[in-house]
Every structure is written in structure tokens, then in C-alpha cells.
Amino acid sequence: MPHALTLNAGSSSLKFALFELGDLSGAPAVRITGLIERIGGSSHMRAQRADGTTISDAPLPPEEAADHETALGRALDLIGQERPDARVVGVGHRVVHGGPDHAVPIVLNAEALEKLRALEPLAPLHQPHNLSGVRAALAAFPEAVQVACFDTAFHRHHPWVNDTFALPRGYYDKGVRRYGFHGLSYDYISGRLAEIAPHLHAGRVVVAHLGNGASMCGMIGGRSIASSMGFSALDGLPMGTRSGQLDPGVVLYLMSQEGMGADEIADLLYKRSGLLGLSGLSNDMRKLEEAGTDAAREAIAYFVFRVRRELGGLAAALGGIDALVFCGGIGEHSVHVRQKVCEGMGWIGLELDEARNMRGETVVSTDLSRIRVLVIPTDEEIVIARAVRDMLARRG
């Protein structure tokens, strides 16, 4: 039975999912989803079936998840035991950076992999890990088609004003551009909106992907026009541990006055800032909502404030707004954040229905609200699985 495996390799984690592909004409059907955390440390593997039942939820001995390669081996053992009939004919990879050239998924071979490696300086904290996942899969499945799906691809058609910084032109040519990220999530939401509300999909939509990483995207007709993330996955909204938009003068100050080097500043901005830095407590929104300390409340207030500012900015970039979509762990589950983001937004034509919001319905705006507000769970894995299926179908 032909199957696709999807892999999303982070710095110390590996997310995997197995999809049955059938005869390549229908939707890939998810069979297993799993996550190995803390690779190289005290690792843990969780995996479940499509019906939500648990296959595994247990620590892994260090030698079984010493690096991405051994972790993938462990995931494949689990898949083999659970679905011995699964023949993996394609592997899809989430790759954070596709550079300026890739607006669609590509088939990976040694040459393509080398080109993606050259992009590592553009995303030093993500790209090398994504590519170690690719290398591990190439070794494990030399016969399967390997497909890279880029987080930047969905945004590659931005108008120039949303693609550049006001630096001397040469930097743009060297690749210093506003790439935007979370493209697989936006791609999924765009497609889902086309299914459930085609008139909104055709219009002006702002999507707020609010998870541990967070960004917002303005779309017209399902295509990205602008995004809150720019050159790196640091820009825009504050995140679990990332600062979000920052005056570049702060970085100059840290260098010249505090004597900090690039690695220290990267550690500060990627790992010690955002909700964690502001609250001094946690990067986890749920914990902050439960904690209720002044610092936790202020961290949430800053997060909400930046989402609201970005919403106004994106609405202006789109020339108006017909719908706001919440997704990501916070967007999907935090009644409080959705309520605060939408509070007092009557002036723009947005009115939240408190009861619908509490119940987490798909549409959480009032019937009279000119702007529709929706909550749509995102699914990056299925976007990758579809790309693998399409690539296989094209190859015949």
C-alpha cells in the first residue's frame, strides 16, 4: 500500500506523520502522527493513530534518539510495527527557507540539497536541522521521492514594497528580503477557506497564526500580499521566546554598549524574549493565563496589542478586510486572546460574538459583524502530504 511520510525536523525535535496515498487521485489519509522531543537529551516519543488513540507515549533511551538520524530510525520502527503493510513511496519535508527562487515544492536530490544548504546563513537556527531530517530520510528511503515544502514559498509573490527593506539595493540582490514564514499553515487555511467560505477566500483576509511561533498574513484571493514576518522568523509579533519586531537600534545598543556578540544576541532574541522574557515565567500562553500575575498579564497584553496593530496594518495593506481567521495553538484555543484582540474593533466593522467565541465555533463573529471572524485549526502536515502526492502523480 503506497504511503507518504511527512517530516518536520526542528532543532531538537522531529514531527512525523504517515499518510495513505491510495491511487493518488484522492486526499491523503492520515494514519499516524508523532513527535520525538529533546533529541540528544532526555528524549520522549509520542505517537497516535488517526482516531486519537495512543501508540506510544514514553521516554526513549538516549541511544535511540542521539540525533535526527537515530530518531527517524526509531519513528520508522514504530511505523513498521503499527502498519507493516505501509510502503513509503514519498517523503515530504518541511523546509523553513526556500530563498528567493522557490515558490512551489521541489524534488530533492543531492544538487537541490546543496543549494538549500547554501541558504543556511539565512535561517541558521532552523535550516540546518530541516536538512539533517532530509539527509536522514535520503539514507532511509533511497528509492522514495523526496519533496521539500518551503515555509517561505507561499509569500514569494509579494509586491516589491512588501518584499524589500529600505537598504541599499545591493542587499536585496544578495537575498536580504522580507520572505515571510508559516507558509504551509497559510496555504492550508487558504484552501480550507475556499472550501467552507469561497466568497471570503476570494476577498481580503487576515490570518493570525498564533502558536509558539506567531505571525500574521494578509491575503487577497487566497494569495499572500503581506506578512508580519520578514527576513527571519524573528520579526513581527512577539512569540513564546522570540522578541518579534524590534528597533534595529536595540541590536546596535546591545553590541556597542553591552558588548554582546552575534551568538549572544541571537540567544537573547530567539530563546529568552517574547512571552517568556516579559513574564519571567513561561513561554506557554496557557500557563500565563492560569498564572494571573501582573507580569504574566502584561506579557499577554503586549502580545494582544501587537496582534491588533498588525491587524490594522495588514487591513490597510489589503485596502480593507472581509475576514479574520485565527489558527495555531493560541488562535485555536485561547478564548481570552481572541476576545482581547477583537475588543473595541467596532470601528473597523468587527464584532465578536462572546458566546460563539466561548464555544470555539468556526464562525465567532456576530451575524451583524461586517468582518467575519473564524477559527480554523491548521494542518501543515496535510499540505506536505498533498505536495508529495501531486509530485508522484506528475511523475506517473
Active-site residue set: 151
Is 184 labelled as part of a ligand binding site? no
Spatial strand order of the sheet with 145-150 comes to 54-59, 44-49, 29-37, 14-20, 2-9, 87-95, 145-150, 106-107
Stretch that binds ligand ADP, among 60-68, 224-232, 264-272, 282-290 (CB under 6 A): 282-290
CB of 274 to ligand ADP, least distance (A): 10
Determine the distance from the C-alpha atom of residue 186 to the mean position of all C-alpha atoms in its chain, rounded to a whole number.
8
Fill in the amino acid letter for 251: V
Contact between 323 and ligand ADP (CB under 6 A)? no
Of 330 and 387, CB closest to ligand ADP: 330
Is 268 labelled as part of a ligand binding site? no
Give the one residue of 12, 164, 212, 366 binding ligand ADP; rule: CB under 6 A: 212
Longest dimension (CA), the chain: 62
Measure the CA–CA gap between 180 and 155, rounded to whole angstroms.
6
Sequential DSSP letters for 203-251: SEEEEEEESSSEEEEEEETTEEEEES--SSTTSSS--SS---S--HHHH
Measure the CA–CA gap between 26 and 282, rounded to whole angstroms.
42
Spatial strand order of the sheet with 372-375 comes to 223-227, 214-220, 204-210, 323-327, 372-375
Of 18 and 330, CB closest to ligand ADP: 330
Backbone angles phi, psi at 7, to 5 degrees: -130, 140
Contact between 289 and ligand ADP (CB under 6 A)? yes
Q: Which residue is nearest to ligand ADP (CB)?
A: 329
Contact between 334 and ligand ADP (CB under 6 A)? yes
# chain residues binding ligand ADP, by CB under 6 A:
13
Give the one residue of 328, 372, 375, 389 binding ligand ADP; rule: CB under 6 A: 328
CB of 330 to ligand ADP, least distance (A): 4
Is 280 labelled as part of a ligand binding site? no
Is 331 labelled as part of a ligand binding site? yes
Question: Can you give the binding site for ligand ADP, defined by CB under 6 A?
Answer: 211-213, 240, 284-286, 289, 328-330, 333-334
The annotation places the binding site for ATP at 15, 209-213, 284-286, 329-333
